[in-house]
Amino acid sequence: MTREILIEHINKVFVDKFELDPAILTPEKRIFEDLELDSLDIVDLVTGLQHTFGIPLRDNKELLQIRTLGDIYNLFEKIVQEHPELEEKLTKEQ
Amino acid sequence: MRTFLVYLSVSICILLYLLVISVPYCITLMLPGRRCAHYMRLLTLYMGKAVIYIALRPFVRVQYSDLADGATAPGIYICNHRAATDAFLMAAFGIEAIQIVNGWPMKLPFFGFNARKCGYLDATQTPLESYPTIARDLIAQGVSIIAFPEGTRSGSTQMHPFHSGIFKLAMELKLPLYPCCIAGNEAFPDRSFKFHKTSRILVHRLPPVLPEDYANMPTAYVLKKHLHTLIAQETEKMDRELHP
């Protein structure tokens, strides 16, 4: 699966949950400062990502380190590498 | 000099007000919790009116416009927050309400005591999970909740981003949200509590955003952005009116 497909799935969560314009969703965007999410919005974000990827994320400590949208893309690239079954699932949904 | 005179005027006004209401004030303090809170909120409402319409009158004119057609249902009042006077300006709405405040106002002598007696909520001390129960109880009593979701004073005509908490609460309890706009007091006082020259402060209450209006919004984030836009558009208009 290409990084583009992964980014598309992650961006869809932002569009569906926060009605953000896809055009502004670029890797350098800071989650809190630029997109104006706060800690409670992160709960909605995690719920959306869990639903999209079908994996539990609440105990993922690396999620606490994310600062930019690019950090989320990188984290999920790593998660997909660790869970090869996700690749098939996401490609099918594509 | 202006700062000194404003503090003097407000202090004298509050002292005179307390003198006039000293008997009902003392009786109210002896009432059981909920009744005490109810009467304290009314006494505080009129103290706020005395401050903004009498004590501040020699320095600034406060003009209130209700664009909500006199809607009376209790709900959540969402206000922009430019200066410390906002807490007093809430009296312009003429409603029984509590405010959600940052920790420090609760520690002020007299004002902090009154705020606690009124049932104001200290955002730094109140556990998040207790808000729905508290809010449901207040709304059932006909008491509205005033929130400043920017979290801190902006000290300018700019508005900080909103926090989502109060909007999550509104969605959970399906409460009407009243967007409220204040303009003209960004330097009255400034963030160092100095009062600068200003001629008018405008306070507007906009039509409520009802639960059916936001029923299809997926998250509190979308609702907070909607309210932010409504308030930003109105305050821009108000700023243009004040500074043509």
User: In this prediction, does ipTM exceed 0.85?
Assistant: yes
Q: How far is A66 from chain B (nearest CA, A)?
A: 19
- pLDDT at res. A94: 64
Over the stretch B145-204, which tens digit does the pLDDT of each residue have?
Answer: 999 999 999 999 999 999 999 999 999 999 999 999 999 999 999 988 999 999 999 999
Residue A68 structure tokens: 């930019």
Instruction: Look at B221 and A16 and tell me if their CB atoms are within 8 Å.
Output: no
Q: How far is CA B152 from CA A90, B84, B89, in A?
A: 42, 9, 16
Question: For residue B97, what are the β-bridge partners?
Answer: B144
- pLDDT at res. B140: 96
As for how many domains chain B has, the answer is 1
Chain A residues with CB inside 8 Å of B164's CB?
38, 40-41
Nearest to B220 among A16, A36, A40 (CB): A40
- pLDDT at res. A55: 86
Residue B227 counted as domain residue: yes
Chain B residues with CB inside 8 Å of A18's CB?
218-219, 221-222
Q: Which of B171, B219, B228, B229 to mutate to test the interface with A (most CBs of A within 10 A)?
A: B219
- Answer whether B65's CB lies under 8 Å from B205's CB: yes
Task: Tell me the mean pLDDT in the region B222-240.
Answer: 97
- pLDDT at res. B105: 85
- pLDDT at res. A1: 60
Residue B135 counted as domain residue: yes
- pLDDT at res. B63: 97
Task: Tell me the mean pLDDT in the region B114-123.
Answer: 94
Q: What's the CA gap between B123 and B118, in Å, rounded? A: 15
**Residue B15 pLDDT grade (very low, low, confident, very high; cuts 50, 70, 90):** very high
Q: How many CB atoms lie within 10 A of CB A63?
A: 16
- pLDDT at res. A89: 74
Asked if A38 reaches chain B (Cβ–Cβ under 8 Å), the answer is yes
pLDDT in tens, chain A (94 residues): 688 889 999 999 999 999 999 999 999 999 999 999 999 999 999 999 999 988 888 788 888 889 999 999 999 999 888 887 777 777 776 6
Residue B36 structure tokens: 């005490």
Q: What's the CA gap between B39 and B29, in Å, rounded? A: 9
Percentage of the residues of chain B whose pLDDT score is greater than 70: 100
Write down the pTM of the prediction: 0.92
Q: What is the helix (H) or strand (E) element at residue A10, kind and residue range?
A: helix A3-18
Domain ranges in chain A are 3-92
- In the DSSP assignment, the letter for residue A83 is -
Task: Tell me the mean pLDDT in the region B43-47.
Answer: 96
Q: At what angle do helices B165-173 and B131-140 cross, to 10 degrees?
A: 60
- pLDDT at res. A64: 85
- Answer whether B120's CB lies under 8 Å from B72's CB: no
pLDDT at residue B59 greater than cutoff 90? yes
- pLDDT at res. A86: 77
Q: For residue B142, give the amino acid letter.
A: G
Q: What's the CA gap between B15 and B111, in Å, rounded? A: 13
Provide DSSP, chain B.
-HHHHHHHHHHHHHHHHHHHTHHHHHHHHHS-HHHHHHHHHHHHHHHHHHIIIIISTTT-EEEEEE-STT-----EEEE---STTHHHHGGGG---EEEEE-HHHHTSTTHHHHHHHHT-EETTTS-GGGHHHHHHHHHHTT-EEEE-TT-S--SSS--PPPPSHHHHHHHHHT--EEEEEEES-TTTT-TTSPPPP-SEEEEEEPPPB-HHHHTT-SSHHHHHHHHHHHHHHHHHHHHHHH--
Residue of A nearest to B169 (CA): A40
- pLDDT at res. A73: 95
- pLDDT at res. B135: 96
- pLDDT at res. B221: 97
Percentage of the residues of chain B whose pLDDT score is greater than 90: 89
Burial of B140 (0-12, 13-18, 19+ CB in 10 A): exposed
Domain that holds residue B146: 60-242
Residue B102 counted as domain residue: yes
Residue of B nearest to A33 (CA): B161
- CATH architecture of the domain with residue range A3-92: Orthogonal Bundle (1.10)
- The rounded Cα B132 to chain-centroid distance in angstroms is 20
Q: Greater confidence, A55 or B91?
A: B91
- pLDDT at res. B96: 96
- pLDDT at res. B121: 95
Residue of A nearest to B220 (CA): A41
Pick the closest to residue B78 from B198, B69, B68 (CA basis).
B68
Residue of A nearest to B160 (CA): A36
